[in-house]
Amino acid sequence: MSRTEISTLGEFGLIEYLTKNIEIKNSSTIKGVGDDAAVLSYGDKKVLVTTDLLLEGIHFDLTYVPLKHLGYKSAIVNLSDVYAMNGRPKQITVSLGLSKRFSIEDMESFYEGIYLACEQHGVDVIGGDTSASLTGLTISITCLGEGEEDKIVYRNGAKDTDLICVSGNLGAAYMGLQLLEREKAIFDGSSNFEADFSGKEYLLERQLKPEARKDIVELLAQNDILPTSMIDISDGLSSEIKHICKQSGTGCRIFEERIPIDYQTAVMAEQFNMNVTTVALNGGEDYELLFTVPLHLYDRISKIKEVHVIGHITDSKFGEILQTRDGSEIELKAQGWNSIKEE
């Protein structure tokens, strides 16, 4: 039997490969694999389901992440997926694999973070599974939410000329991670650069205590704006807009100068000798919402302070383009985190 390395397909490729032959059997399954959340129908309301697996050493480093923050963030990343469907998160299950290194007090801290996130978003913890682990901490959270049938927003609804919008600002969580990694290197003794977090609190907060944009979903509803497509930014703007374009069968044009970047992010990127646009495009973990709205809603969307129009959807033949400040055009690539450092 032949052996093909998983790296040849990548995460998305593997999922696509393994799920390509799924045939839906139940009338209650409206949408399965392939969006931020699945959509189920169990009566008048639709049920949204999303799940995330977080592994120590891959998704988090307990050297600098307090357990309470980790609990909070573990919940938030799931809630964010439900908001990205224009839904409201309602319940989560929390499964943990725990090595002997962890005490009950540790787990209390972790759950404090979980419960804080749930409190802020009106979510119930309804179950889970707890197990011994031979190796570090494993966290698996599944979130259920509800949405109204005609208001659930998928990734595949973007249309030519739609405006591309993003909430908040991008790249800060990634720069926060760089700061923490530098701090760790000092602890390790592998660097003697003096860590200084003063004035960088915002970047750390974006990395350690990200927020799910419940407020944006509410503002959109209040302003009677139903996006044509939506996704949350967990892997970086490039990767996410490419998901929307691929599933919608469109192209896009993003304007570099319109990508929202916080002042601290820009300063830190310069200190680290990184291109701040590359950071914003590929940094990930911002958990901002990326969505498209019809062109005629320009005035309405412009009034929402926390939302920025960064480009527009095009016919697929024009590709996925970044127009730089100097007017040149670059094809958008989903680089992900690792490749940023190699630049």
Where in 25-64 is the site for a second copy (CB under 8 A)? Answer: 25-26, 28-29, 31-33, 37-38, 40, 42-47, 49-59
Sign of CA dihedral 69, 70, 73, 79: negative
Please select the residue that binds a second copy; options are 72, 83, 102, 174, rule is CB under 8 A. Answer: 102
DSSP β-bridge partners for residue 171: none
Please select the residue that binds a second copy; options are 67, 76, 96, 179, rule is CB under 8 A. Answer: 96
Question: Please, which residue, 96 or 173, has the CB nearer to a second copy?
Answer: 96
For a second copy (CB under 8 A), the number of binding residues is: 82
Chain positions 138 to 197 lying near a second copy, rule: CB under 8 A, are 138, 140, 142, 144, 146
Question: Please, which residue, 264 or 282, has the CB nearer to a second copy?
Answer: 282
Q: How many CB atoms are located within 10 Å of the residue 107 CB?
A: 16
Question: Please, which residue, 123 or 164, has the CB nearer to a second copy?
Answer: 123
| Helix axis angle, 201-208 to 172-188, nearest 10° | 100
Question: Please, which residue, 11 or 343, has the CB nearer to a second copy?
Answer: 11
Minimal distance in Å, beta carbon 337 to a second copy?
12
DSSP β-bridge partners for residue 254: 311, 322
Cα–Cα distance measured from residue 308 to residue 165, given in angstroms and rounded to the nearest whole number: 5
Cα–Cα distance measured from residue 238 to residue 242, given in angstroms and rounded to the nearest whole number: 6
Chain positions 103 to 132 lying near a second copy, rule: CB under 8 A, are 103-105, 107-108, 111, 115, 118, 122-132
Cα–Cα distance measured from residue 121 to residue 211, given in angstroms and rounded to the nearest whole number: 10
DSSP β-bridge partners for residue 252: 313, 320
Question: Please, which residue, 71 or 251, has the CB nearer to a second copy?
Answer: 71
Minimal distance in Å, beta carbon 256 to a second copy?
31
Residue 266, token pair as written in the block? 């820009």
Q: Is residue 66 a contact residue for a second copy (CB under 8 A)? A: no
Please select the residue that binds a second copy; options are 61, 64, 66, 91, rule is CB under 8 A. Answer: 91
Chain positions 235 to 294 lying near a second copy, rule: CB under 8 A, are none
Q: What angle do CA 238, 243, 247 make, to 5 degrees?
A: 150
Residue 65, token pair as written in the block? 């992440």
Inter-residue contact 228 to 162 (CB < 8 Å): yes
Q: Is residue 338 a contact residue for a second copy (CB under 8 A)? A: no
Alpha-carbon distances of 214 from 120, 192, 248, 269, rounded to whole Å: 10, 41, 24, 28
> What is the end-to-end Cα distance of the chain in Å, rounded?
38
Q: Is residue 68 a contact residue for a second copy (CB under 8 A)? A: no
Question: Please, which residue, 119 or 331, has the CB nearer to a second copy?
Answer: 119
Q: Is residue 339 a contact residue for a second copy (CB under 8 A)? A: no
Question: Please, which residue, 148 or 270, has the CB nearer to a second copy?
Answer: 148
Please select the residue that binds a second copy; options are 69, 73, 90, 308, rule is CB under 8 A. Answer: 90
